[in-house]
């Protein structure tokens, strides 16, 4: 049996990661991986942590051209890294940060199709944008637009029943509405609004790619159960939008062969096909092996997320969390926390520590933080919605690194436990992924707060791995249970069991943290 290679790319907030897997019968291995960091490798765009500074902290954009250039760099590196083996590359899949949108004018749409392999794709595409910066998932500037769309759809519950979520600031629909309201001429000049995922897939395939319903569910424009645009949500968002959206297409849709640009420029083979891209969270669902209901994963990344597969779209009654589509069919439930790794980094830096020092402080301080609680809302928070940022604390000596660092980590884990109850999953095992999952001390707090066993997975970028496995599945037509073994395996010796005494402490602290959060939210509304 001859070997096949599958590539998965993940365009995340801070960089573009690729994972290439090789499959030869039962022999399976990750053969190549690499990351292009936006701040480090593409400094001319002036991003910090992959986004652009703005005088209004609620506005968070990134340059779409930077994503194009990162893709070009990555494909050059991949061609060199795989060498002659790239002739075996059967399919490329991908995922991207969710909700972010890319706005092309008519020339941009045409330019997608036929870039000239003799010069870099970014320069050829540059005149094709009707909006030069793209709002991303960290943007919280659209409260007014959310309220208007929600009202038109009959309120938050009706909006959630239709689309899977109430209307959130970072979702693509309200972002499009704000663009139409504030820059109507540029909106009129827009021929196509892509998600980051469908935009990058379009570049690989050299044609206008469809939107995958798992990722499309993060737009507030899709009828979740149908996996297709909702006429009422589209009409409630902006005039003329229906013609500016790409088509939606089921998750395993192969868009076509790799475009001539990549074949001619980097000697990839024209037989390599491109799979529709999805969002990073739906891809992570696959990359952590959650193809059936019952377990959850926690990803500790720029955003912290807790998610799991769902057989039916049970939306949360209080509007917390979202239901997206799953690339394995059915659905996924997810709660997203904006103050993830950057909040941890912030308190680490507050005391001039490195990650070892951060872990030491966690190890040497008592679970429960002597009753101290932190709500780590350094930046506007998504879950629960907090637009005016500022961290809140109770019984914390803010000069004490142990109290502050433990307070933030416990505050994050307690919030994830509290705001995932709506999914209705009895959590006995958590699959930890994302960069932060390499830190064992964080996993101890996670295991104790959830009173559940935590398993670590080898490839910290579960989204890129999930994207590669989606490509393998689409190419071979294999059942998911046959795709995962050999790739999605817990690290031997990486299991963290809960400590019953600490779990008791957290069961009590959870009630206090919940009451503190309720009081702070009520205070913020006054
Ligand atoms: C999901 C979300 C984030 C981004 C991060 O709703 O906003 O997890 O997908 O890339």
Q: Give the span between the Cα atoms of 441 and 402, in whole angstroms.
A: 13
pLDDT of 526 higher than 70: no
Distance 4 CA to ligand 1 centre (A): 31
What is the arithmetic mean of pLDDT over 165-183? 97
Reported as a single tens digit per residue, the pLDDT across 459-476 is: 668 999 999 999 999 999
Comparing CA positions, the residue from 388, 370, 376 lying closest to residue 347 is 376
Q: Centre a 10 Å sphere on the Cβ of residue 350 and count the other Cβ atoms it contains.
A: 13
Q: Regarding beta strands 273-275 and 278-279, do their DSSP bridges make them parallel or antiparallel, or are they unpaired? A: unpaired
Q: Would you say residue 458 has pLDDT above 70?
A: no
Q: Are 508 and 449 in contact (CB under 8 A)?
A: no
Closest atom of ligand 1 to 138 CA is: 7
For ligand 1, pick from 15, 49, 137, 214 the residue to mutate: most ligand atoms within 8 Å of CB: 137
State in Å: Cα 247 to ligand 1 middle: 22
Task: Tell me the pairing of strands 429-433 and 453-456.
Answer: parallel
Q: Is the pLDDT confidence value at 374 over 70?
A: yes
**What is the spatial distance between Cα 49 and Cα 51, in angstroms, rounded to a whole number?**
6
Ligand 1 pocket mutation, candidates 97, 338, 342, 436, criterion most atoms within 8 A of CB: 97
501 Cα distance to chain centroid: 34
Question: What mean pLDDT do residues 319-333 have?
Answer: 92
Q: 3-class DSSP state for residue 257?
A: strand
Q: For 193-340, where are the alpha helices, taking DSSP H only?
A: 196-205, 213-216, 231-237, 260-266, 280-287
Report the SS3 class of residue 330: coil
Q: Whose CA is nearest to atom 5 of ligand 1?
A: 97
507 CA → ligand 1 middle, Å: 28
pLDDT band for position 292 (cuts 50, 70, 90): confident
Summarize pLDDT for 22-50 with one digit per residue, the tens: 999 889 999 999 999 999 999 999 999 99
CA of 175 to the centre of ligand 1 (A): 15
Ligand 1 atom nearest the C-alpha of 137 is 7
From 183, 170, 174, select the one nearest 129 (Cα to Cα): 183
- What separation in Å is there between the alpha carbon of 340 and the centre of ligand 1? 11
Residue closest via CA to ligand 1's atom 10 equals 97
Both structure tokens of 311: 């057989």
To 5 degrees, how large is the angle CA 22–CA 24–CA 26? 110
Q: Which of 96, 99, 100 to mutate to test the pocket of ligand 1 (most atoms within 8 A of CB)?
A: 99
Ligand 1 atom with least separation from CA of 279: 9
**SS3 for 48?**
strand
**Size (the chain), residues:** 526
Mean pLDDT score of the chain: 96
Q: Point out the ligand 1 atom lying closest to the alpha carbon of residue 12.
A: 10
Tokens 């059915």 locate to 330
Which of 95, 280, 298, 325 to probe ligand 1 with, by most ligand atoms within 8 A of CB? 280
pLDDT at residue 294 in the model: 82
Ligand 1 pocket mutation, candidates 173, 336, 341, criterion most atoms within 8 A of CB: 336
Alpha carbon distance 19, 283 (integer Å):
13
* Eight-state DSSP code of residue 260: H
Ligand 1: atom nearest CA of 299 is 8
Distance 151 CA to ligand 1 centre (A): 25
Tell me the pTM.
0.94
Please tell me the distance between residue 437's alpha carbon and the centre of ligand 1 in angstroms: 17
The CA distance from 195 to 219, in Å, is: 9
By C-alpha distance, which of 282, 270, 89 is closest to 197? 282
For residue 336, the CA-to-ligand 1 centroid distance in Å is: 7
> Containing H/E element for 363?
helix 355-363
Q: Which residue has 């019952």 as its token pair?
A: 294
Greatest alpha-carbon span in the chain:
68
φ and ψ at residue 100, rounded to 5 degrees: -60, 145
Quote the tokens at residue 293: 């209901």
3-state helix, strand, coil in the chain (%, to 5): 45, 20, 35
How far is residue 465's CA from residue 337's CA, in Å, rounded to a whole number?
A: 22
- Output the CA 371–ligand 1 centroid distance in Å: 31
- Report which protein residue has its CA nearest ligand 1's atom 7: 137
Q: Is the pLDDT confidence value at 407 over 80?
A: yes
The residue among 219, 207, 229, 255 whose CA lies nearest residue 94 is 255
Interatomic CA distance for residues 333 and 515, integer angstroms: 25
CA pair distance 311, 213, nearest whole angstrom: 16
**93 and 7 in contact (C-beta within 8 Å)?**
yes
More confident residue, 424 or 94: 94
Question: What are the DSSP E strand ranges found in 65-191?
Answer: 89-96, 101-104, 134-135
Burial label, 384 (beta-carbon count in 10 A; 0-12, 13-18, 19+): buried
Query: Residues lining ligand 1, CB < 6 A?
Result: 12-13, 97-99, 137, 170, 218, 279-281, 303, 305, 336
Distance CA 71, CA 67 (A): 6
pLDDT tier, 524 (very low <50, low <70, confident <90, very high otherwise) = confident
Q: How far is the CA of 271 from the centre of ligand 1 (A)?
A: 32
Query: Span 249-274, mean pLDDT?
Result: 97
Q: In angstroms, what is the span from residue 400 Cα to ligand 1's centroid? A: 32
Closest to 207 in 3D by CA, of 124, 119, 121, 111? 111
Q: Which of 305, 335, 420 to mutate to test the pocket of ligand 1 (most atoms within 8 A of CB)?
A: 305
The proportion of the chain whose per-residue pLDDT surpasses 90, expressed as a percent, equals 90
CA of 96 to the centre of ligand 1 (A): 9
Rounded to the nearest angstrom, the distance between the alpha carbon of 462 and the centre of ligand 1 is 14
Residue 229 structure tokens: 């645009």
Ligand 1 centroid, distance to 230 Cα (angstroms): 22
Among 140, 297, 81, 280, CA closest to 196: 280
How far are the Cα atoms of 139, 174, 304 from residue 434, in angstroms, in the given order?
21, 28, 9
Quick one: pLDDT at residue 459? 60
Residue 273, both tokens: 């096909």
């Amino acid at each position: 049996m001859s070997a096949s290679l599958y590539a998965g790319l993940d365009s995340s907030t801070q960089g573009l990661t690729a994972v290439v897997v090789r499959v030869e019968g039962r022999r399976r291995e990750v053969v190549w991986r690499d990351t292009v960091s936006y701040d480090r490798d593409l400094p001319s765009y002036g991003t910090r942590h992959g986004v652009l500074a703005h005088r209004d902290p609620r506005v968070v954009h990134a340059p779409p051209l930077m994503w194009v250039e990162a893709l070009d760099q990555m494909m050059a590196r991949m061609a060199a890294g795989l060498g002659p083996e790239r002739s075996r590359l059967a399919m490329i899949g991908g995922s991207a940060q969710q909700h972010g949108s890319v706005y092309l004018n008519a020339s941009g749409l045409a330019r997608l199709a036929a870039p000239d392999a003799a010069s870099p794709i970014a320069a050829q595409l540059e005149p094709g944008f009707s909006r030069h910066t793209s709002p991303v998932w960290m943007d919280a500037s659209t409260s007014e637009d959310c309220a208007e769309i929600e009202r038109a759809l009959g309120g938050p519950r009706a909006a959630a029943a239709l689309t899977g979520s109430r209307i959130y600031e970072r979702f693509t629909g309200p972002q499009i509405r704000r663009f139409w309201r504030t820059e109507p001429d540029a909106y009129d000049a827009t021929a196509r609004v892509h998600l980051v995922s469908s935009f990058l897939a379009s570049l690989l395939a050299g044609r206008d790619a469809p939107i995958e319903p798992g990722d499309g569910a993060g737009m507030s424009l899709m009828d979740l159960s149908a996996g297709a645009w909702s006429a009422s949500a589209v009409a409630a968002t902006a005039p003329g939008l229906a013609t500016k959206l790409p088509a939606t297409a089921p998750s395993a849709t192969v868009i076509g062969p790799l475009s001539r640009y990549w074949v001619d420029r980097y000697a990839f083979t024209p037989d390599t096909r491109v799979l529709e891209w999805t969002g990073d969270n739906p891809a992570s669902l696959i990359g952590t092996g959650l193809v059936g209901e019952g377990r959850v994963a926690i990803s500790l990344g720029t955003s912290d997320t807790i998610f799991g597969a769902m057989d039916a779209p049970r939306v949360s009654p209080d509007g917390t969390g979202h239901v997206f589509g799953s690339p394995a069919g059915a659905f996924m439930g997810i709660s997203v926390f904006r103050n993830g790794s950057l909040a941890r980094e912030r308190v680490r830096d507050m005391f001039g520590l490195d990650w070892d020092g951060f872990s030491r402080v966690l190890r040497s301080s008592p679970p429960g933080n002597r009753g101290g609680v932190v709500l780590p809302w350094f930046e506007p928070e998504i879950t629960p919605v907090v637009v005016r940022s500022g961290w809140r604390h109770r019984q914390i000596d803010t000069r004490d690194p142990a109290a502050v660092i433990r307070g933030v980590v416990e505050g994050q884990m307690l919030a994830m436990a509290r705001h995932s109850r709506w999914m209705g999953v009895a959590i006995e095992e958590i699959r930890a992924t994302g960069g932060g999952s390499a830190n064992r001390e964080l996993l101890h707090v996670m295991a104790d707060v959830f009173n559940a066993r935590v398993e670590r997975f080898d490839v910290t970028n579960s989204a890129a791995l999930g994207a590669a496995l989606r490509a393998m599945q689409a190419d071979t037509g294999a059942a998911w249970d046959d795709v995962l073994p050999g790739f999605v395996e817990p690290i031997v010796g990486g299991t963290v069991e809960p400590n019953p005494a600490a779990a008791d402490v957290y069961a009590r602290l959870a009630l206090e943290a919940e009451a503190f959060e309720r009081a702070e939210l009520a205070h913020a509304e006054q």
